[in-house]
Amino acid sequence: MSHVDYIYQNEDYLNNPKDQFKRILHWLEQNTESSESYSLLDLGCAQGELIHYLSHNTTGISFTGVDYSDALISAAQEKVDARFIKANIEKYVSDIKYDFVVICGVIEYLDDPSIIMDNIASYLKEGGKCLILNIFNEYDIDVRVRYRNNKYFDEFQSGWSLHSLEVFYRILQNNNFDVEKEEKFFPNCFLEPKKDPARSWMVKMPDDTLKYMNGLSQIYDSYVIEVVKGR
């Protein structure tokens, strides 16, 4: 069981899709043709909520989800008509090449993002595309985090690491990825604090820019980075 399973088990993202899902759908719509067939891999798929949303709003795409939580994968297999695999995404080896890979809100749980980006490069076809949605540090400082959310788990766990955006771009370059688009991501509404302090909310800075904040006393940005694998 993952230390963040409770988040997905307590939320109904199947019937109340996140704004991130809509942003990913927009990306797919821009990069697919209705007459063609495609394949998509969702890394850190949780209960398959994103795949469920995409499968009901697209045609011609076969979906695979990978997550290391037994509980979440079991729930996904019960609720969503797609292929789901229980595996550690840093160690997962695929014999299938995909047109698209999505990794959303996962890299912050990994100490070394180069491992997963090496893997993603191996999962994609030449010319295949990946969408990364994650928090990054705008300053050239890598921050690895261990935290304990005392109400929900007893041991210190990985999460909320802020990897340097500059270093991440070097990782992309080393894997022959070309960046097609980068933008900061914000939902369609202003996020208020939740009962669980380890969930993001939004704050307005003195210069009126918006940032995210959490109960770890972090203030940060979330980014969408769209990349294509070089030929």
Q: Which tens digit of pLDDT belongs to each residue from 158-210?
A: 999 999 999 999 999 999 999 999 999 999 999 999 999 999 999 999 999 99
Q: Which tens digit of pLDDT belongs to each residue from 37-70?
A: 999 999 999 999 999 999 999 999 999 999 999 9
44 C-beta neighbours (distance < 10 Å), count: 23
| Mean pLDDT score, 24-46 | 97
Which pLDDT belongs to residue 208? Answer: 97
| Reported confidence tier of residue 231, pLDDT bands at 50, 70, 90 | confident
Q: Are 140 and 166 in contact (CB under 8 A)?
A: yes
Measured CA to CA, the distance from residue 224 to residue 84 in angstroms comes to 24
The domains found in the chain, sorted by start residue, are 5-190+223-229 (3.40.50.150)
Rounded percentage of the chain residues whose pLDDT exceeds 90: 91
> DSSP readout, 49-72?
HHHHHHHTT-SSEEEEEEES-HHH
Q: Say yes or no to pLDDT of 156 above 90.
A: yes
| Reported confidence tier of residue 12, pLDDT bands at 50, 70, 90 | confident
Measured CA to CA, the distance from residue 85 to residue 229 in angstroms comes to 24
